[in-house]
Amino acid sequence: MTKLRSFLKHEMVKFILFTILILFLPLAFKGGYLLNVFVFVGIHTLLAVALNLLLGYAGQISLGHAAFFGLGAYASGILTATHGQNPWLAMAVVAAAVGTLAFIIGFPILKLKGHYLAMATLGFGIIVYIAFNEAVELTGGPSGFSGIPNLSLGGFSFDTDFKNYYLIWGMTLVTILLSLNLVNSRIGRGLKAIHDSEVAARVMGVNVRFLKVQIFALSAVISSIAGSLYAHTMTFVSPTSFGFNFSVELVTMVIIGGLGSIYGSFLGAALLTFLPEILRAFQDYDIVVYGLLLIFMTLFMPGGLVRGIPALVGQIVSRAGAGSKADA
Amino acid sequence: MHIGQQIAQYLLSGLSTGAIYALIGVGFAIIHNATGIINFAQGEFVMLGGMFTVFFLTVLNLPLLVSVILAIAASTIAGVAFERLAIRPMKNASPISLVIITVGGSILIRGIAMLVWGKDTHALETFSGNEPIQLGEATILPQHLWIFAVTTVVIICSKLYFNYTISGKAMRACAYNSRAAGLVGIDVRRMVLFSFAISSAMGSMAGIIIAPLTMTSYDVGVMLGLKGFCAAIIGGMSSGLGTVFGGVILGILESLGAGIFSSGYKDAIAFIILLIILFIRPHGLFSKGDTERV
């Protein structure tokens, strides 16, 4: 019990430090271009945390998560811009609908394992992507859907990067806190058990099938909310943002940051959001770099940056220590 | 054109795209059976086949036959390199890591192809003219005949290889039980390398024969690879007739669906079929048992 309490305290300290960092970050670069990039880091962190719950904790891969993100974005856009609904209401309704959809398809999809699960989620993602392109009357087709209003509270409109930064990071921080709680709870332990061995988890009394579907639906709900936030921030959405490549990018974020690490998701999201900006000078090289990163990380740093960097530092320190001892 | 004629035309074009899907699907099946891996980069070898042929033909001005042979060789080398550099170092990896590494490989190959050949689509001349051949109610292009011929020859060759040669039999042994195969003295690692070589060669052939009909570009591999996987799944991951039927069923349904409903949703049809098959019969429509899958 005391162990658990000290563990939670430790987690809380980390979370508070992280929150302070996020809250004061905008002061460091006073608006402008970097702030805009950090707005996207926020949305991507939200998505990466959502996918990490599924991939990192429960060990179930999804190569179609961009679909949930896109469904959230398009449905929010259509409900608010075409039908004039309240954006907050729309966001909630859409998240509930996307969650229900994920829950329903979760039962047959999560029965599959490994490669088959990857292919099925990929297939789902592509079907949704094709629908975004083809349902022209609803979505505007390949040319996209514009005129989505910014979110507002009373008379206060979230119409600048500065305001959106705090809106999105507010949501992201709440999600991170809830996710930390979740993964350290009974459910989280159940998920880790599933990750290690489904049979053993079942023997220990975990309702494997139901738990997997639940976490899949939760992950979809968070992704859908991220989609709604994206739509209201950008005020424009187009299918290319929600294709197969973005699904893979999300998986890359989770892998690079570290499977089963919430803060790792932030690291991965930040790195992969900045990478294209840094590589802008070289334009198309980013796709090559993604591929190399995926291969190198899986081969040489399977724990992701979150575990890989400390391990690397430890190695160097111990080697240096050994070296200095030898000198002495 | 009356409806019967239309249907006949859809069936015929579905048949030829189905043959392509089958050829790609067999590549999936061979690697899957030898290693348990689904190679998400399979489609990229299809792309490489087409792109290398265009490169040898138009940039180096080599004759068609030489270009085709060189293109198959180059894609095979790429496949072997991929196995050596990315797959072999992954010992005892989880299925998720293997999915991720082959996805990474496919992105990398696609990216390199884009850097080398640009984003443009490239056309390839048909092998023997564009004069349509009347076939009952429908017409067919000479290139379609090439597709049928190549697919048939490749499938027959692979059947002969797996049933009548030592290395083919060894590979089947690996598919059945790789540990037991290792115990009787089969070099399992070499067989895995072989399986990558064979399947990348087959994939590139598919890419070469389809390029004159559909054009080729750095990103054609994604869709073609996934359709090939659908064919393999329908066929129950067999490298023989099952996958051929799978490909043909997929090609025809897709062609009919595109013709009757909407061509925009053509690609979605394949994936809806994939999902249905995965949900109700994940081991394929034609699977009997686990033995002799290769």
From first to last of its 328 residues, what are the pLDDT tens digits of chain A? 566 666 667 778 888 888 888 888 888 776 678 888 899 999 999 999 999 999 989 989 999 999 999 999 999 999 998 888 888 999 999 999 999 999 999 999 998 887 889 889 999 999 999 999 998 888 888 888 888 888 888 778 888 888 888 999 999 999 999 999 898 888 888 888 888 888 888 888 888 888 999 999 999 999 999 999 999 999 899 998 898 889 988 998 998 888 888 999 999 999 888 887 777 777 677 778 888 888 888 888 877 888 877 887 887 777 776 655 544 4
What pairing do the DSSP bridges indicate for beta strands A236-237 and A145-146?
Answer: antiparallel
Contact B275/A284, CB-based, under 8 Å? Answer: no
Per-residue confidence (pLDDT) for residue B293, from 0 to 100:
46
Contact A61/B107, CB-based, under 8 Å? Answer: no
Those of residues 117-156 in B touching chain A at CB distance below 8 A are 119
Answer whether B115 touches A (CB < 8 Å): yes
Q: Which two tokens stand for residue B67?
A: 């270009």
Q: What is the pLDDT of residues B170-210, one digit of tens each?
A: 888 887 777 888 888 888 888 889 899 999 999 999 999 99
Report chain A residues whose CB lies below 8 A from the CB of B106. Answer: 291
Per-residue confidence (pLDDT) for residue A35, from 0 to 100:
86
Amino acid letter, A44: H
Residue B162 has pLDDT above 50, yes or no: yes
Q: What is the pLDDT of residues B225-270, one digit of tens each?
A: 988 988 888 888 776 788 888 899 999 998 888 888 777 788 888 8
Identify each DSSP E strand in chain B by its residue range.
133-135, 138-140
Q: What is the pLDDT of residues A60-100, one digit of tens each?
A: 999 999 999 999 999 999 999 888 888 899 999 999 999 99
In this predicted complex, what is the ipTM? 0.83
Helix axes A33-52, A244-257, angle to 10 degrees: 80
- CA–CA separation, A151 vs A261, rounded Å? 30
Per-residue confidence (pLDDT) for residue A7, from 0 to 100:
65
Per-residue confidence (pLDDT) for residue A125, from 0 to 100:
94
Of A63, A112, A298, which is closest to B101 when you measure between CB atoms?
A298
Looking at domain A2-327, which CATH architecture does it have?
A: Orthogonal Bundle (1.10)
Residues of A with CB under 8 A from a CB of B: 55, 59, 61, 63, 108-109, 111-116, 118-120, 122-124, 126-127, 130-131, 133-134, 244, 248, 251, 255, 284-285, 287-295, 298-299, 302
Report chain A residues whose CB lies below 8 A from the CB of B109. Answer: 291
Of B93, B99, B115, which is closest to A115 when you measure between CB atoms?
B99
DSSP character string of A123-140 = HHHHHHHHHHHH-HHHH-
Give the number of beta-carbon pairs within 8 Å between A and B: 124
In chain B, % of residues over pLDDT 70: 95
Residue A273's closest CA among A261, A259, A290? A290
Separation of CA B137 from chain center: 30
Q: What is the pLDDT of residues B6-64, one digit of tens each?
A: 888 888 888 988 999 999 999 988 888 888 888 889 999 999 999 999 999 888 888 98
Residue B248's closest CA among B42, B75, B15, B5? B15
CB atoms within 10 A of CB B126: 16
B253 Cα to chain A: minimum distance (Å): 16
Per-residue confidence (pLDDT) for residue B268, from 0 to 100:
87
Contact A130/B104, CB-based, under 8 Å? Answer: no
Per-residue confidence (pLDDT) for residue B139, from 0 to 100:
82
The domain B7-126+137-280 having CATH identifier 1.10.3470: the answer here is: yes
